[in-house]
A and B are shown apart, each in its own frame.
Chain A
């Protein structure tokens, strides 16, 4: 009989709405948070759609996870508080890698790009979530946790906590947290850098809860006050249509694979970093960083 644990994200929805209202009021009063009507609508509709997709596929997700756990687990870890804490830390480690792959493999970027498609950075951006992650292999990265012996219900529970933690860091209203906190945890400052398209900031700060993973694996970049973050994509979307926002990178992959010559090129359009082309006519984030050093070492202002 699976553990019956609460769903943290469902509990948190009223809190999310309250926090968004507070940020809107704060932004209106101080100018330190900016919203835009179409952007807000699209972000929140993406959040709603993501919830509907997750709920629709919950049955398959749960059955698959329990099948792996029941047939392949090495240990039975039980459900004590230390196990929950260990699951929280290891699930965050899993998140770091799935997030990193989500930026470096176009197949996974096709699902994750949605979260980065807003040119604003406020609490509604946190809700701009993917509809298409089930089409990626990202779910496989949870299997090691089940195989170690963490019961899937515990993993789902701590993943929910991870998602809730990441809500509050999507804001410009909070500058910096205390130094000790910034050293260990992901914060609004660290995550602003992650969402920024300034070449210097690209492909950094993949952390969920603990920023230590980025420091361990060389992807940490601190926010530079002399280089204000500019948010969105390196090639921003001109549309607020949620369906197009959800599917645009998949359409791009399909077109590229269709026209590509040879199996290798077709696969590379799926597996190489976003922006890769056989003839180098588009730019990957590495190429953008190199170009930036060549052409434009100055700060990137906001539009």
Chain B
């Protein structure tokens, strides 16, 4: 009983914080670049694609065997560098790509393509197709 009351109190507190601290931030090229390079300072970004909802960005890197992924699951940013095609799968759907990252703590991502030419994305995502990457590369 005490656990249920605690859980209800937690939900109430979480909603209170959601109401008082609404999250309006979206990804911008500057935020994507700054945060990705903070995580991977030895990488060079060639091109940034941000999805229509401003929650996900894919980055073409000078190192064409990998692709950058920047997510904003809430008000904070999460970055990953993914070896092509070892560490993720992509399946196209209606006006979007579903990115399934082979990472326990990164949920499937819906990347709304919008105005981005699909062939440019596809070219990037297939660039390192023959590369299998290091065993422990993250």
Interface residues of A, Cβ cutoff 8 Å to B: 17, 20-21, 24, 27-28, 34-41, 44-45, 48, 52, 119-120, 124, 230, 232, 234-240, 244-245, 248, 251-252, 256, 259, 277-279, 281-282, 291-292, 295-296, 300-301, 303
Contacts and interface: CB of A to CB of B under 8 A. Distances in A.
A131 to B, nearest CB: 14
Given A45-B10, A248-B104, A251-B104, A37 B15 contact: yes
B11 A41 contact: yes
B136 A20 contact: no
A303 B41 contact: no
B137 A281 contact: yes
Nearest to B134: A281
Interface string B13-38: 11111101101000000010011011
Contact of B136 (A17, A34, A277): A277
B135 A301 contact: no
B135 A279 contact: yes
Given A41-B13, A292-B41, A303-B34, 9 more contacts: A37-B18, A38-B73, A40-B13, A41-B14, A45-B7, A48-B6, A119-B76, A248-B104, A300-B38
A234 to B, nearest CB: 8
Nearest to A276: B136
Contact of B41 (A120, A235, A291): A291
Contacts of A38: 14, 73-74
B47 interface: no
A291 to B, nearest CB: 7
Given A36-B75, A281-B138, A252 B104 contact: yes
A116 B17 CA distance: 20
B34 A301 contact: yes
Contacts of B16: 24
Instruction: Output the residue of A17, A37, A282, A295 with the most chain B CB within 10 A.
Output: A37
Contacts, number: 121
A39 B74 CA distance: 8
Contact of A34 (B21, B41, B73, B107): B21
B13 A44 contact: yes
Interface residues of B, number: 42
B106 A36 contact: no
A250 B31 CA distance: 31
B9 A17 contact: yes
A17 B16 CA distance: 13
A40 B14 contact: yes
B18 A244 contact: no
A123 B88 CA distance: 36
B138 A282 contact: yes
A117 to B, nearest CB: 9
A36 B77 CA distance: 13
A252 B138 CA distance: 11
Contacts of A295: 41-42
Contacts of A234: 39
Contacts of A35: 17, 20-21
B57 to A, nearest CB: 13
Given A52-B3, A119-B76, A279-B135, A41 B10 contact: yes
A234 B107 CA distance: 18
Contacts of A244: 104-105
Contacts of A238: 71, 73, 78, 80, 103, 105-107
A45 B103 CA distance: 23
A279 B138 contact: no
